Amino acid sequence: MYQGNNERSQGGTRRAVSLGGGLKGAGRYEPRRRSTGGGGSFGGSRAPHRGGGGGGGFGGGHARPFTRSARPRGGESIDVSRFVNKSVVVEEVKAYIPTHQFSDFQIDARLKKNIEHKGYKIPTAIQDQSLPDVLKGRDVIGIANTGEGKTAAFLIPLVNKMLLDPTAKVLVMVPTRELALQIDEEFMGFARTLQIYSVLLVGGASIGMQIERLRRKVRMVIGTPGRIKDLIERGDLQLGDFHNLVLDEADRMLDMGFLPDIKSIISNLPRERHTLFFSATFSREIETLANGLLRQPIKISVKTRDTAKNVEQDVIRVKSKEEKFGQLCGLLSQKGYEKVLVFGRTKHGVEKLGVMLNKEGFKTASIHGNKSQPQRQQALKAFKDEKVQVLVATDVAARGLDIPNVTHVINYEVPQTYDDYVHRIGRTGRAGKKGVALTFVGGN
């Protein structure tokens, strides 16, 4: 149906593949009836699609590339033709062949057992190339696209270090609560039965419970800059013996204005430390930050291209809010839209859209900054477990999260920047699967 861009950076023969007419419309969209079924806590059961015609695209003609700029409120002007990828380049090359297997690395046998238990056998490119240096204690800058397995690239060697040295402690800083939770879950899998414990320090959760857990002498601290700084200032977190630091999604932390907090936190760390720095991009600002933190770092880049290589991208032109919502419902009614991530701009708008979709019979959950941490975790889990079809989110969900098998990303509102767009659509087309990203343009 869709043919994504399978571009790789390892070389090979390129051939241009035209995708022809693209996504073709078929008939009108008739609003669905409100469901009267049960449907659980996230909305009613999904009603059958009653639209006229066959399984089509946007309810009226295929979306054509055009060059008018979209300027989100308060954001940069983005040429919407950058949201279209209809003629793609396909590289006929072999998949990345790692030089190691996990069993080859010089790590504790108990950790190897946990790695195997998690189903890890063949390292990804970033894991294969960075693990040897991290295991040797070298500072590393890792640049890789989203979904390349950066989390395991730093957790595995640091868990091994904590097994070798009972006094070793690690601080991991990330931009969002969701990413912190994801890393903590990964850590617990690698540290299973090893008597090494972590604490999650994020906003939206009880600070009292986090302080209590800190008093249990945990050795892995994972959190967001704001909450970590709060606990340092309260005197509940001392970092004098944390000789290992990880900055993950560093570019996003800078985008979110965390640089002053990061500098403040790092000033509390020992000068002699092991620092790992991971990012999806390597701008001048990121390079300046990295150079100030790391000592003679090894730079490893396995980044291939800005947008996901196998994500089909297109735009949907609408004239009004009503038309846009009708088009969205029409899309969600079609076959194949099984696990859809819809992005909005504001917390209020995302919540309102989620309520409207639930009223139309779509099982929908939402995550945004006004949700408590337990509510956000519940919504993400329901989406991951495919108990809901649609997750409506602000950009808090765009970076770092590993949500398997997302079939479509729909930008209901144009992102603030093109970088935000890249990270939004990176939620689909992961692990070699094809994905689709659609962006509404013209409606409010």
d(CA 359, CA 103): 51
Look over the chain and give the mean of its residue pLDDT values, rounded to a whole number.
Answer: 80
- Is the predicted pLDDT of residue 373 greater than 70, yes or no? yes
Q: What is the pLDDT of residue 358?
A: 95
The band of 251, judged by pLDDT with boundaries at 50, 70 and 90, is confident
Return the minimum-mean-pLDDT range out of 164-173, 198-207, 237-246, 282-291.
282-291
Q: What is the mean pLDDT of residues 308-324?
A: 86
* Percentage of the chain exceeding pLDDT 90: 52
Confidence class for position 303, pLDDT limits 50, 70, 90:
confident
Average pLDDT value for residue range 350-379: 91
Q: How far is CA 193 from CA 14, 188, 309, in A?
A: 48, 9, 38
8 Å CB contact between 80 and 441: yes
Residue 113 pLDDT exceeds 80: yes
Q: Is the pLDDT of residue 30 over 50?
A: no
90/86: higher pLDDT: 86
DSSP H helical ranges for 136-224: 150-164, 177-190, 207-214
Question: What band does 350 get if pLDDT is binned at 50, 70 and 90?
Answer: very high
Write down the pLDDT at residue 16: 28
Q: Evaluate whether 13-85+307-441 and 102-301 have a shared fold.
A: yes
- Going across the sheet that includes 408-411, the strands are 311-317, 435-441, 408-411, 340-343, 390-393, 364-367
Tell me the mean pLDDT in the region 179-196. Answer: 94
Tell me the pLDDT band of 309, cut-offs 50, 70 and 90.
low
Split at pLDDT 50, 70, 90, the class of 107 is very high
pLDDT of residue 55: 35
Highest mean pLDDT among 51-55, 363-367, 394-398: 363-367
What is d(CA 430, CA 419) in angstroms, rounded to the nearest whole number?
Answer: 18
Question: What number of H helices and E strands is found in the chain?
Answer: 13, 17
The fold of the 102-301 domain, in CATH, is Rossmann fold (3.40.50)
Q: What is the mean pLDDT of residues 123-127?
A: 93
pLDDT of 374 over the 80 cut: yes
Whether pLDDT at 81 is above 50: yes
Residue range 48-58: average pLDDT?
Answer: 36
Contacts of 208 (CB under 8 A, 6+ apart): none
What percent of the chain has pLDDT above 70? 75
215: Cβ–Cβ under 8 A, 6 or more apart, which residues? Answer: none
Question: Would the pLDDT of 72 be above 70?
Answer: no
CATH class for the region spanning 13-85+307-441: alpha beta
Sign of the dihedral defined by the CA atoms of residues 402, 407, 412, 413, in that order: positive
Q: Which pLDDT score is estimated for 326?
A: 95
Q: Where are the domains of the chain?
A: 13-85+307-441, 102-301
Residue with tokens 């930050």: 289
- At residue 156, the pLDDT reads 97
The answer, yes or no, to whether residue 37 has pLDDT greater than 90, is no
Is 42's pLDDT higher than 70? no
Looking from the CA of 358 toward its CB, the CA atoms found within 13 Å total 19
Higher pLDDT, 238 or 6: 238
CB 332 within 8 A of CB 362: yes
pLDDT score recorded for residue 371: 84
Question: What pLDDT sits at residue 419?
Answer: 78
User: Is 311 in contact with 4 (CB distance < 8 Å)?
Assistant: yes
**Which two three-digit tokens encode residue 307?**
């947008």
Choice between 74 and 118, residue whose per-residue pLDDT is larger:
118
Backbone angles phi, psi at 214, to 5 degrees: -60, -30
For range 305-329, the mean pLDDT: 85
Looking at residue 32, what is its pLDDT? 42
Q: Determine the pLDDT at residue 12.
A: 31
CA–CA distance, 275 with 117 (Å, rounded to integer): 28
Instruction: Single out the residue of 437, 438, 374, 333 nearest to residue 32, CA to CA.
Output: 333
